[in-house]
C-alpha cells in the first residue's frame, strides 16, 4: 500500500490522543456530555448583512464590532492565556519580489512531529469517524463564541447565552497552530458531527461570517479531503492579513453564458495569468444566490471525487474555487524531490499566494519562480480543467455560449465538443496519508 508521509497540522490542544485519554470526559468540552449545559457567548447575525445607509442607533452593535471587538479581541485573550502552540506574531513574513507579490512566511512551529495516524487522500467524501480526533473533543476555553442567525434585521451579542437542549450550535474556535493573526475555525453545528463536505447551508454560513467581518483583509478558506484538509469534521478556516493575496490581484476572464440563462445575478469567471487554474464567482442578488451557486459547484466536485479548495474574499462578495491534484501527483510519484523536501502541502492559503514555509533555508531562498513552480504542480492541466469546468457549469444550470467557445477553440486549434466524461481518479487504490 502506498503512503505519503506528512507532518500534521495540530488545530486543537486536545488533538493528541494521549491528552484526550488523560483528561477524559467532564473537562468542559464541546461534546454532548458537556456542551448542552454550558454558557457560551453568542453572536447572532442579522438577516441582511449589507450595511444600511443610516448610522447605527444606540441599541445596535457598531459596524466594526464583530471583527475588531469580538473576534480579534477574544483571539488576543486566548493568546494572552497561552493557548497557542507558538507566537505567530514572531514568525518572519515577507513579500517575495516579483510581478505577483507572493507572500512567504517562516513558521517553524508548524514543523512539529506527532504520532502518525492514517488518513485517506483518495476519497473526497468519507464518513465521519468518532474514534478519530474531531471538534467535539475541543475544550470550551478554545471557543470564542457561537455564531448563529438572529432572525431579524439587527446583529445581537449575548455574553452569557445558554446552549439550549437539543441545539447543535455553530462555534468559532481558535486554531492553536495559527498561520496568521486572528486564525480561527468556523465549525457548523458541532454536535451533528458532519464530515468535511460542503452543503448549501454551511456555505451560506461561511459567507455570512465574511460579510459580518466586513473587511477585505479577513478571508475564509475551505480544504476538502484530498486537498489537505487534516480533520474530517466540517470546518472552515479564517484569518486576518492586511495585504492582498496574489490571487485577489490576478486578472479574470468572464465565462460567456448562453443568452437567457442567469443564476441570481452571479457572474462566473476563470483565473488568468495565475499558476493554479480556478473559477471565480462574484455578485448575486443576495448572499444566498452566491452561496447556492458556489455550493452546488462544490457538491459536484466532491460527489465526483475531485479535491478542491475555496477562498472567500471581499467580505463574502467574491469566491475562488480551485480543483486540484497535488496529493494525486504525490501518490503517483510525479512531484519533484526538491518540492517534496519542503514539506509544503498546498492548501487554500498557499494556493491563494500565502506560502507557509517550515525551514529557514526555504524561506531565505524563496523566489517567485519557486512559488510559481510549486503552485503549478497543484493545478489541473488545461484539458482536465476544461472538462471539470464544463461539468461544474452544467451542475449549476449554466451552459457556456457556443459562439464564444467556437471563437476560443479557433484560436487554440481545437474542435467544439460536448463535455467528456471525467475519468476516474488516478490515485493508487487504497492510498493513505500518514499525518
| Closest of 342, 235, 190 to residue 11, by C-alpha | 235
The conformation of residue 186, written as its DSSP 8-state character, comes to E
CB 392 within 8 A of CB 298: no
Placement of cell 496519508 in the chain: 433
CB 257 within 8 A of CB 297: no
Q: Report the b/e string of 23-56 with b at 16+ CB within 10 A.
A: eeeebbbbbeebbbeeebbbbbbbeebeeeeeee
d(CA 340, CA 332): 13
Report CA 289 to chain centroid distance, whole Å: 20
The conformation of residue 29, written as its DSSP 8-state character, comes to B
| Cell output for 188 | 457548523
| Cell output for 412 | 487554440
Give the contacts of 201 (CB within 8 A, at least 6 positions apart): 188
CB 203 within 8 A of CB 291: yes
d(CA 348, CA 355): 10
CB 214 within 8 A of CB 315: yes
CB 135 within 8 A of CB 12: yes
Give the contacts of 373 (CB within 8 A, at least 6 positions apart): 275, 339
235 is known as an active-site residue:
yes
CA angle, residues 203, 280, 335, in degrees to nearest 5: 95
CB 105 within 8 A of CB 357: yes
The conformation of residue 352, written as its DSSP 8-state character, comes to T
| Closest of 326, 89, 313 to residue 222, by C-alpha | 313
Instruction: Spot the catalytic one: 235, 354, 391, 407.
Output: 235
Half-sphere exposure of 201 (CA within 13 A, CB side): 8
| Closest of 23, 100, 122 to residue 430, by C-alpha | 122
The conformation of residue 215, written as its DSSP 8-state character, comes to -
Of how many residues is the chain composed? Answer: 435
Beta-strand pair 171-174/184-187: antiparallel
- Catalytic positions: 235
Amino acid at each position: 500500500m502506498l503512503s505519503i508521509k506528512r507532518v500534521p497540522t495540530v488545530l486543537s490542544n486536545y488533538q493528541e490522543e494521549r491528552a484526550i485519554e488523560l483528561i477524559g470526559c467532564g473537562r468542559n468540552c464541546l461534546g454532548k456530555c458537556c456542551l448542552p449545559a454550558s454558557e457560551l457567548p453568542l453572536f447572532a447575525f442579522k438577516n441582511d448583512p449589507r450595511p444600511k445607509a443610516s448610522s447605527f442607533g444606540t441599541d445596535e452593535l457598531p459596524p466594526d464590532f464583530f471583527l475588531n471587538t469580538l473576534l480579534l479581541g477574544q483571539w488576543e485573550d486566548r493568546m494572552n492565556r497561552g493557548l497557542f502552540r507558538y507566537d505567530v506574531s514572531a514568525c518572519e513574513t515577507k513579500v517575495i519580489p516579483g510581478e505577483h507579490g507572493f507572500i512567504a512566511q517562516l513558521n517553524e512551529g508548524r514543523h512539529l512531529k506527532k504520532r502518525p495516524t492514517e488518513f485517506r487522500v483518495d476519497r473526497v467524501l468519507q464518513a465521519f469517524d468518532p474514534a478519530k480526533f474531531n471538534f467535539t473533543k475541543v475544550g470550551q476555553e478554545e471557543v470564542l463564541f457561537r455564531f448563529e442567525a438572529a432572525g431579524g434585521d439587527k446583529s445581537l451579542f449575548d455574553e452569557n447565552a445558554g446552549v439550549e437542549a437539543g441545539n447543535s450550535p455553530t462555534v468559532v474556535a481558535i486554531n492553536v497552530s495559527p498561520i496568521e493573526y486572528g486564525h480561527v475555525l468556523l465549525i457548523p453545528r458541532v454536535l451533528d458531527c458532519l464530515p468535511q463536505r460542503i452543503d448549501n447551508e454551511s456555505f451560506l454560513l461561511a459567507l455570512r461570517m465574511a460579510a459580518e467581518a466586513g473587511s477585505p483583509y479577513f478571508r475564509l478558506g475551505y480544504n476538502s479531503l484530498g486537498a489537505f484538509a487534516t480533520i474530517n469534521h466540517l470546518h472552515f478556516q479564517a484569518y486576518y492579513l492586511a495585504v492582498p493575496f496574489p490571487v485577489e490581484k490576478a486578472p479574470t476572464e468572464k465565462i460567456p453564458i448562453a443568452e437567457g440563462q442567469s443564476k441570481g445575478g452571479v457572474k462566473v469567471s476563470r483565473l488568468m495569468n495565475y499558476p493554479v487554474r480556478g473559477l471565480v464567482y462574484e455578485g448575486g442578488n443576495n448572499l444566498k444566490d452566491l452561496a447556492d451557486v458556489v455550493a452546488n459547484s462544490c457538491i459536484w466536485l466532491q460527489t465526483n471525487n475531485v479535491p478542491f479548495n475555496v477562498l472567500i474574499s471581499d467580505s463574502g462578495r467574491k469566491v475562488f474555487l480551485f480543483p486540484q491534484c497535488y496529493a494525486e501527483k504525490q501518490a503517483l510519484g510525479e512531484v519533484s524531490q526538491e518540492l517534496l523536501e519542503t514539506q509544503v502541502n498546498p492548501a487554500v492559503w498557499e494556493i491563494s499566494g500565502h506560502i507557509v514555509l517550515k525551514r529557514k533555508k526555504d524561506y531565505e531562498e524563496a523566489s517567485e519562480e519557486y512559488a510559481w513552480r510549486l503552485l503549478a504542480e497543484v493545478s489541473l492541466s488545461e484539458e482536465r480543467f476544461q472538462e471539470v469546468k464544463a461539468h461544474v457549469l452544467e451542475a449549476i444550470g449554466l451552459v457556456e455560449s457556443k459562439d464564444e467557445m467556437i471563437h476560443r477553440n479557433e484560436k487554440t486549434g481545437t474542435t467544439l465538443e460536448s463535455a467528456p466524461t471525467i475519468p476516474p481518479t488516478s490515485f493508487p487504490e487504497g492510498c493513505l496519508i500518514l499525518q
